């Protein structure tokens, strides 16, 4: 890959990995929501309870990323925790390490001895909300929600449909949850003008212990350079194993060249 394309792919991967990160995507709702005691509220509470069972993920990851007319294929090991941190140790197409912690997104390429850094500080919060809006943390208090009803998602799966609106920036999130087993099926994020900026589709679910876990996530993301699509396949999945802070720390040789991209 040409070096000049790396920063954009960093942003694209950061957006898509965060939205496809099962910890972020499944554990969307925080119990601070003050739902009324309705049938619709009970559905969400059950959804929360089921997905609160996931505290960490360790699995094999295969990704296919379509960016304009280019295709990137990756294989590696993916780990994440409930704090939203993740680490990917790629083995293909080359040895690379990607880490997202509370401060930065880091991408280390040992073959070229370069560490790319995207700063995720408070000053960049607005930019990151545009890339990967999250229903957690500081914005959940501003969310309005509405139950839209039941209708099929895809051809055969009956789903509950919910709409969430962030009144601060006008972002809207449509979510489809399977009626039968509360699987997350689909998410769509739209801007205040109704234009879709992210679409996520979840499938190939596995039962791991007592938890349903998607083996495939398709993401379509709108970026400043056009649309990016990713297909992520998860296998050899282990849930709720201890992941210490050391997992999410980057260790690089002193001679490594650091390229930083801030707001």
pLDDT at 15: 52
**Distance between CA 76 and CA 46 in Å, rounded?**
33
- pLDDT exceeds 70 at position 76: yes
DSSP string, 134-151: -SSGGGGGGEEEEEEEEE
Q: Are 139 and 170 in contact (CB under 8 A)?
A: no
**Distance between CA 23 and CA 240 in Å, rounded?**
11
Strands 114-119 and 257-261: parallel
The yes/no answer on whether domain 3-138+210-261 falls in CATH 2.50.20 is: yes
Q: Are 11 and 118 in contact (CB under 8 A)?
A: yes
CB atoms within 10 A of CB 170: 12
Q: Are 214 and 184 in contact (CB under 8 A)?
A: yes
Q: Minimal CA–CA distance to 196: which of 215, 226, 222?
A: 222
Q: What is the mean pLDDT of residues 219-235?
A: 86
pLDDT at 8: 47
pLDDT digits (tens, 9 = 90+) for 78-95: 999 888 889 999 999 999
Q: What is the mean pLDDT of residues 32-59?
A: 74
Length of the chain: 263
* pTM score of the predicted model: 0.78
Q: Are 205 and 215 in contact (CB under 8 A)?
A: yes
**Average predicted confidence (pLDDT) for the chain:** 78
Q: Cα dist. 89→41, 80, 110 in Å?
A: 39, 12, 12
In degrees rounded to 5, what are phi and psi of residue 154? 80, -150
Q: How confident is the model at residue 222 (pLDDT cuts 50, 70, 90)?
A: confident
């Amino acid at each position: 890959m040409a070096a000049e394309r790396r920063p954009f792919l960093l942003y694209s991967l950061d957006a898509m990995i965060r939205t496809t990160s099962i910890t972020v995507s499944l554990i969307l709702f925080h119990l601070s929501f003050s739902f009324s005691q309705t049938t619709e509220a009970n559905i969400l509470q059950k959804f929360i309870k089921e997905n609160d069972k996931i505290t960490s993920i360790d699995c094999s990851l295969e990704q296919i990323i379509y960016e304009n007319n280019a295709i990137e294929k990756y294989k590696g090991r993916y780990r994440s925790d409930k704090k939203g941190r993740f680490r990917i140790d790629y083995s293909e197409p080359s040895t690379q390490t990607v880490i997202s912690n509370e401060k930065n997104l880091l991408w280390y390429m040992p073959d070229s001895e370069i560490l790319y850094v995207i700063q995720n500080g408070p000053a960049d919060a607005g930019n990151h909300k545009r890339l990967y809006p999250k229903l957690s943390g500081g914005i959940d208090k501003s969310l309005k929600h509405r139950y839209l009803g039941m209708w099929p998602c895809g051809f055969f799966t009956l789903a509950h449909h919910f709409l969430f609106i962030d009144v601060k920036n006008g972002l809207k999130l449509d979510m489809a949850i399977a009626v039968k087993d509360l699987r997350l099926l689909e998410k769509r994020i739209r801007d205040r003008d109704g234009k879709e900026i992210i679409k996520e589709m979840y499938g190939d679910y596995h039962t791991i212990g007592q938890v349903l876990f998607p083996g495939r996530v398709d993401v379509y993301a709108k970026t400043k350079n056009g649309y990016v699509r990713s297909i992520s396949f998860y296998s050899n999945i282990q849930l709720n194993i201890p992941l210490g802070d050391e997992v999410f720390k980057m260790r690089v040789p002193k001679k490594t060249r650091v390229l930083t991209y801030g707001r």
